[in-house]
Every structure is written in C-alpha cells, then in structure tokens.
Structure 1
C-alpha cells in the first residue's frame, strides 16, 4: 500500500482524496475544515488550478484505491506557536509510473509563501514519496523557460536539465532509488 502522508522538516504532504477534491471544487467552505488547515488568499496557486483538481478527481474516481497517492498532494505548513497549520501549496504526480518506472511531478506554491524554500521542500517530499513506493525509477518535471525559481527548486533536488525545449518547456529528470522492504 502506498503511504498517503509524507513529512518533511516543515511540511506535511497529504495525498488528495475524492472527499478532499470534491470539497475543494464544490464546497470550498468545507475544504479547510476537512484539511485541518488555514487557506492562503490566492488558492489555488499557480499552475495547480481547477482543471488540475478536476483531472485528479476524475483519475481517483476511475482508478479507485489503486490510484490513491498517484495524483495531487496538498502541502501543509505545520502549526507553530505563531501560526496555525496552513495550506501553502500543492504538488504531486500526473499518474502512476509507466512500465519503465517513470513518473512526472508538478508543484505550485501560493504567492505569500514563495521564496522561503518551501517549494524545494515540497519537491523533496515528492521524491521521498516516489522512493517509498518502490515503483519509481525516474522522475521528470516540465517547467516554462521563464520560471527561474522553479528551475532552482529542481536543481536543488538533483534534477538535471535534459531537454531545454520540449514544446516550449524545459524537461528535467532525476533518478530515484526505490525503497526496499526488509522484514
């Protein structure tokens, strides 16, 4: 079974579920209650938009339990004495890995939380999640050529630029060492 929660030093990554996506898309006043986190003013952020949410919901509905963990993930900054737990971004996979073990990731951080290293941490958590499945051998990511901040996030997480112009986007790749079960 694929873990549906991943923790990094500051973030809890929570796999999107049909209930969370339905609330996000159709009952937004319930969404922060179900998530247990305050909402940023600019939700949804960046390239994580309503279309992405609808895609993730459709894939989770069609794929049932086997699709869980292979689509959207919510990035929640854990509570401190100064602030409540806060949803700061989203990321995830565009589906399970292909036959060669390749999966694609994407991510977006709310404007108020950019420049604090949280995107780098979110991507590190997605890498950790991919490793924990034992199914992923390589991760890819595509970004716009004008997104220097996102390029730095990927480079800090050991991705390499492999194609500077794939249909107007830059393609990055990173090898993944799958975790092995030891009993």
Structure 2
C-alpha cells in the first residue's frame, strides 16, 4: 500500500525494526499517543509497478508501536513531527469524577408545591424545561418548594440560599 505524503508534513528519519529482525531507516510522519502507548506512522522504502510495466520507488506507510518497533536516529530532532497526545484528565476530575450536566428542573406537585432537582436526577420529571441556577434558586425560595434530598440538590443549593453563613468562625 502506498500513501501520498501528508500535506505540509516534513518527515524525519527513524530506525524501524522489522518482524524478521532487520532494521532499516524509514521516514517518520506522525506520532499518536493512545491509552495502550505510542504509535508512530512510518514510511518504509519500497517499490511499486507502474501502469506501463515499469518499476518506481514508493513508500509503504504503516503505524508501528514505539519504542518496540521504532528507534531514534542520532542527531535528528523530532520536535517538528506532528504529535497527537492524549488529553490527561485533571487531578480534580479524577477525584470528583465526571461533571454533572448543568441545569435544574422543577417537579410541580398539587397545591402549589414543588421539588427542585438537578437535570440528571432519577426523580426529575422527563421533558421539564431546564432552569438556570438563578431560576432554581427563585423556585427554591417559594414556601411550597423543597430541594430533592435523593440527588443532593439541597447540599448544592442550600449554601447559595443561605448566603454561606454557616460554618464560619465567629458566626452564629
């Protein structure tokens, strides 16, 4: 399989270890980090037959695992090689887990009562319009409305409703 050159990329030499133990110099086109490690796209020198029956130089492109199948060439800089890295999750995301969807919904009950839920709560009404934080706080201040305790809406909204007055030294 031959592949045309990558647009705008300038390959650099790299040593490739073949399955039979041979080592040859190839052209390194790109690097890609995956959860399983690094893969390098290399162009191996080859030949191909033309339509008129002649033979011409060609390049066979393949992704190989690094460092098992590819090695640097001394004195060559690899800084300009297009490199795609995995996005590393922040330490905060690793500890807290994935973010919840933003928004709140109001479950209306009989007699003007209601319950405020985050949009991802199991008890949230399906198809209810999402409320902004300010709208959720306004609804929560209504005397007949409570905050869902199943999903933690109370723990999230109470400090905003109370103005963060609880828990600070010297405050009643």
Same fold, TM-score > 0.5, yes or no: no
Relative contact order (C-alpha < 8 Å, sep 6+): which is higher? 1
| Higher alpha-carbon Rg | 2
Shorter-chain TM range is under 0.3
